[in-house]
Amino acid sequence: MGAVIRRASVLIAVVALLVPSGASAATTTYGRPFANGPSGGDEFNTIERDGATGEMSIVRLYPTPVGGALGCGGSGGWATFEIAHTAVSTIESVAVAYTGALVDPYSFVTVAVYQDGAFVDSKVVRGPVLGDGTVELEPRTAASGDVTIWFGLQMSSACPNIGMAEAVFESVTVTEA
């Protein structure tokens, strides 16, 4: 009787290894170099980025308006790197890892998923952000197929304004269902 139980146990174990237990999540990780994505802002911003190293910085020096008037204009600086990704199944999450961040309280680390001329979803983490970390976006809207992932830094536009944001972007990990 013991030999029968052992053989049955071995057979069950072999079958369990051969039969798929369900789909596992597919993960794709992208590293440097990154392509430059969109960027902008007014003449009071200095934007530097290097896709080969993942380094990005924005410095904003907006002067006090003439005569102390309220109602400041202008546009805070923003810059992104981008990844083109083809999702075979629905995207569950996008995780952007960075190191050496120094992001002031009025600046942001951003990540967005863009498809067919519209944003699928985005996440903005407001400073202060210091050191190493990850911004993880779990899109609320299902996305699969060809998408663009933008990630980077953004400054507020206020006056007077002196601000800065810098980080080294290390990797982007896309997890699909």
Is this prediction's pTM over 0.85? no
Rounded distance between C-alpha atoms, residue 163 and residue 59, angstroms: 6
| pLDDT at res. 16 | 43
What mean pLDDT do residues 109-132 have? 97
- pLDDT band, residue 11 (cuts 50/70/90): very low
Higher pLDDT, 159 or 98: 98
Residue 43 has pLDDT above 50, yes or no: yes
Structural Rg of the chain based on CA atoms = 23
- pLDDT band, residue 130 (cuts 50/70/90): very high
Q: Chain centroid to CA 58: how far?
A: 17
- pLDDT band, residue 13 (cuts 50/70/90): very low
Higher pLDDT, 63 or 141: 141
H, E, C per residue of the chain: CHHHHHHHHHHHHHHHHHCCCCCCCEEEEEECCCEEEEEECCCCEEEEEECCCCEEEEEEEECCCHHHCCCCCCCCCEEEEEEEEEECCCEEEEEEEEEEEEECCCEEEEEEEEECCEEEEEEEEECCEEEEEEEEECCCCCCCEEEEEEEEEEECCCCCEEEEEEEEEEEEEEEEC
Higher pLDDT, 5 or 34: 34
| pLDDT at res. 121 | 97
| pLDDT at res. 161 | 78
**Tens of pLDDT along 45-98?**
999 999 999 999 999 998 766 655 555 667 899 999 999 999 999 999 999 999
Residue 157 has pLDDT above 60, yes or no: yes
Residue 6 has pLDDT above 60, yes or no: no
Domains of the chain plus CATH, in order, are: 25-176 (2.60.120.260)
